[in-house]
Structure 1
């Protein structure tokens, strides 16, 4: 296996980790409107991800940085062609981070209510837009012979990509529901269990249509295996969630995301951005990669830094592993 193939796999793993971890973050943000009945319950939901949301975003930075260093042509075409949707995602992530921090800076109810609304919208929009972006990457976009994107923003809003957006939005919301069930006690936990059935079934139908479409377009035997794993894991997660075994449900919903993202990258390889104008103009792991020397240095750096990041993040989750409920929220405490 060539180094550029190795780095394609590494980038796939980084994106998978990001969607697994930030997926339930986004889902919890969406649930502040769908599940919480009052502001105290909203505070409980936000506190379930409060210690970990910023660490989860490290995976996005790593994925973007690795793409820039390992595949500069891919990075340049992606960020120039997808400028508007990626800018929208970036603005949402900035506002979302500010909302988490500024929500408790003043005691006024309107102040906190507005920041909580910002958390909802800046969780929902990226959850949808990431699916749109990756749907276009996999399906192919208008790339010319100079490896430049020559389409417009409207071209990115095609049926396949929009369906991909619905897939990520519903899957992340379901992932967030089972995470809330895993991290809370009392009435919130019970209502999360009941809500998981409806949201999970919607996610299952949408994901099945999208993955079958993907398989029909570019799939092979390996991607078919990933498709089957994703669908079986999601159905199992829905069933297990109804029994109150949230740990297993969360692991299975996470496996669904892992298998679905793996399928997308399996159908994409050896391309990194297919051209819908001419297959010969597609960006591939070979024509979009950096020099072998650059990739060797990156491999050594990744081998040293990655275990430390994984250990630190695992420790963080272990420290904040306990469940919380409304009785943990003091009436005079804003967070």
Structure 2
């Protein structure tokens, strides 16, 4: 295996970790409208991710930075061709962070309500847009002989990519409902379990359609294994949720996310962005990669830094592992 193959795997790992963690993060944001009945319950849901949401986004920064350094041609084509959806995601992530911090800075009802609306929409929109973006990456886009995207914004809104957006939205929201049941106590915990029982079958139908389409169009035996793992894990998550085994339900819902992202990268390799105009114009792990020397230096740096970051983030989750409920929320002044 050459270094550019290694870095494709590492970038796939970073994106997988991001969607696993930010998936339930976005799901909690969406559930502040769907699950919470009052402001106190919204505070409970937000507090379940309060200590970790910003750490989850480190995975996105790492994935984008690794792509820029290891595959500059991929980075340039992706971030220029997908400029508008990427910009919208960036704006959402900025506003989402501001909403978490500023929501309780003033006691006025309108002030807090507006920031709560912001949390909902800036969680829902990225959850959809990431599915649309990765759907286009896997399906292929209009790339010319100069490795430039020559399509339009409407070209990105094709049926396959839009279905991918619905898959990520429903799957992340289900993942968030399972996480909410794992991290809360009392009535909200029971309602989170019931919400997960409703969202799970919807996510399963969407995922089976999307993954089946992917397998039929670009899949092989390895991607088929990943697809089977994703479907079985989702069914297992629903079963564990029904039995009240929140820990197992969360593990299996997370495995579903991991298997789905893994399948997408398996069907993509050795390409990083296929061209729908001419297969010889595909961006691949070889023609889009940096020099071997650059990749070698990056490998040494990543081998030292990545384990430290993962250990620190794991420690953060361990420290804030306890459940919370409305009884733990102080009365607003």
Alignment match, 1:106: 106
2-side partners of 1:238 and 1:209: how far apart?
Answer: 18
Structure 1 Cα separation of the partners of residues 105 and 198 of structure 2: 36
The superposition leaves residues 154-189 of structure 1 with CA deviations (integer Å, 9 ceiling, x where unpaired) of 000000000000000000000000000000000000
Counterpart of 1:269?
269
In structure 1, distance between residues paired with 2:25 and 2:193: 18
Indicate yes or no: 2:165 matched with 1:189.
no
Partner of 1:63: 63
Match of 1:332 in 2: 332
Which secondary structure state, in structure 2, belongs to the residue aligned with residue 190 of structure 1?
Answer: helix
Aligned Cα root-mean-square deviation (Å): 0.6
Structure 2 unmatched runs, 5+: none
Q: Distance in 2 between matches of 1:95 and 1:113?
A: 14
Q: Counterpart of 1:251?
A: 251
Cα deviation, 1:76-115, whole Å, max 9, x if unaligned, reads: 0000100000000000000000001111211112111110
How far residue 299 of structure 1 moved from its aligned partner, in angstroms, is 0.2
Q: Which residue of 2 aligns with 1:321?
A: 321
| 1:239 Cα offset (Å) | 1.2
Matched, 1:237 2:237: yes
Q: For the residues of structure 1 that align with 2:16 and 2:260, how far apart are their CA atoms? A: 9
**Where do residues 1-335 of structure 1 align in structure 2 (5 Å cutoff)?**
1-332=1-332
Report the CA distance between 1:332 and its aligned residue: 2.5
Distance 1:242 1:168 in 2: 22
**CA distance in structure 2 between the partners assigned to 1:323 and 1:109 by the alignment:** 27
C-alpha distance in structure 1 between counterparts of 2:112 and 2:244, whole Å: 32
**Cα distance between partner residues in 2 of 1:96 and 1:194:** 27
Q: Counterpart of 2:286 in 1: which secondary structure?
A: coil
Aligned equivalents of 2:43, 2:109: Cα separation in 1: 13
Q: Scaled by the length of structure 2, what TM-score is found?
A: 0.99
Counterpart CA distance in 2 for 1:296 and 1:108 is 55
Count of aligned pairs:
333
| SS of aligned partner of 1:272 | strand
Offset from partner CA, 1:209-260 (integer Å, 9 cap, x none) = 0000000011000000000000000011011111111100000000000000
> After the TM superposition, which parts of structure 1 deviate over 3 Å for at least 4 consecutive aligned residues?
none
TM normalised by structure 1 equals: 0.99
Structure 1 unaligned spans of 5+: none
